[in-house]
């Protein structure tokens, strides 16, 4: 029996190694072309689109980029839709979520607690930030709001340097996900990517149902349209604003916590995510959860496949797509005209 089990293990390992070898042989030409950094390489893009292995791998990469952007962007669009604040410091909550998760994982060794620490920690931070600072600039000039937010971007980055240091940090992949990848149509898909995509989709579903069908969701939507009337009905709008800001911070923190196992952590890591999240909200339409999801997925796929065909113009492709959407539909794909 032991010999049979050993033979089965050897056979399974050999098959897995052969699959990985064949995947490397298929994907190597496209990776090599990208490394050459040609301005435009449509042959590499066409070759990837004609290869199921490369297509699955690049699509999966685009989906995880899109899902992380969605979690950040949906919080950004919620805060803007209800509070009418352009939260330029939103990327810092993504950064704190990653660092909170890394610290919790190092202390406990539990991935679930790490995710909880990243989300709950940024929710509490967001509530304090809104009550102490942002609530004082409601109704103020947009420039004043941006200056306050940008000041805290710099402050938060320095706080991270003081606590965790300026060097790059890594959380590492949790032991539960250090397993053989899945092979789908010849493409390699790490199991953790499926978890990341699933958590983001679950967040989108819960958020959509909660805002559209629950009582608190209806109150939040009413406060976004007519805060004066909501206040006149005896509802504490300050509590609503604080809760929405905390929810937005929690979603950004959850994105950071999910990204921690697969990305390097460094002070200032939230700024690039913030810019791309603004692009997502503009493409999808300010205030639209569906728009944030669709815009994030489109942007993720543009980044993933654009890096093959346009390796030196990937960032430009995102802005070009945003311009095309705005020219054809100024309110975004799912945005509504102001009444």
Mean pLDDT to the nearest integer, 92-96: 97
Q: Which residue from 150, 98, 121, 114 is spatially nearest to 266, judged by alpha carbons? A: 98
Q: Report the pLDDT value the prediction gives residue 299, as an integer from 0 to 100.
A: 95
The pLDDT tens digits of the residues spanning 249-262 come to 999 999 999 999 99
**Quick one: pLDDT at residue 188?**
84
Per-residue pLDDT tens for 272-328?
899 999 999 999 988 788 899 999 999 999 999 998 889 888 889 999 999 999 999
pTM above 0.95, yes or no: no
Q: Is the pLDDT assigned to residue 266 strictly greater than 50?
A: yes
pLDDT tops 80 at residue 111: yes
Could you give all domains of the chain from N- to C-terminal order, each with its CATH number? 65-174+185-328 (1.10.3470)
Indicate the average pLDDT of the chain: 86
Q: What is the pLDDT of residue 141?
A: 85
Query: Mean pLDDT throughout 22-38?
Result: 48
């Amino acid at each position: 029996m032991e010999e049979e089990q050993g033979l089965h293990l050897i056979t399974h390992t050999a098959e897995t190694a052969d699959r990985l070898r064949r995947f490397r042989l298929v994907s190597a030409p496209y990776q090599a072309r990208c490394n050459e950094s040609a301005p435009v390489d449509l042959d590499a893009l066409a070759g990837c689109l004609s290869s199921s292995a490369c297509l699955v791998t690049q699509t999966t990469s685009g989906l995880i980029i899109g899902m992380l952007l969605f979690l950040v962007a949906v919080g950004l669009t919620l805060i803007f839709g209800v509070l009418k604040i352009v939260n330029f410091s939103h990327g810092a909550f993504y950064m704190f979520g990653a660092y909170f998760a890394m610290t919790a994982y190092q202390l406990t060794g539990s991935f679930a607690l790490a995710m909880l620490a990243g989300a709950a920690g940024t929710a509490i931070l967001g509530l304090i930030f809104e009550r102490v600072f942002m609530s004082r600039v409601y109704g103020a000039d947009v420039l004043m709001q941006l200056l306050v937010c940008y000041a805290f971007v710099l402050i938060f980055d320095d706080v991270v340097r003081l606590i965790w240091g300026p060097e790059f940090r890594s959380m590492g992949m949790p032991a539960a996900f250090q397993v053989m990848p899945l092979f789908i149509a010849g493409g390699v898909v790490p199991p953790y990517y499926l978890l990341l995509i699933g958590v983001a989709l679950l967040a989108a579903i819960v958020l959509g149902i909660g805002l559209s069908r629950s009582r608190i969701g209806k109150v939040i939507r009413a406060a976004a349209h007519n805060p004066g009337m909501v206040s006149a009905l005896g509802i504490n709008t300050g509590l609503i604003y604080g809760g929405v800001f905390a929810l937005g911070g929690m979603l950004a923190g959850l994105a950071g916590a999910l990204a921690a196992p697969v990305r390097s952590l460094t002070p200032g890591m939230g700024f690039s995510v913030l810019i791309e999240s603004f692009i997502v909200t503009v493409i999808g339409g300010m205030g639209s959860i569906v728009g944030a999801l669709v815009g994030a997925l489109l942007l993720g796929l543009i980044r993933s496949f654009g890096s093959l065909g346009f390796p030196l113009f990937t960032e430009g492709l995102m802005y070009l797509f945003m311009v095309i959407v705005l020219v054809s539909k100024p309110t975004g794909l799912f945005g509504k005209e102001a009444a």
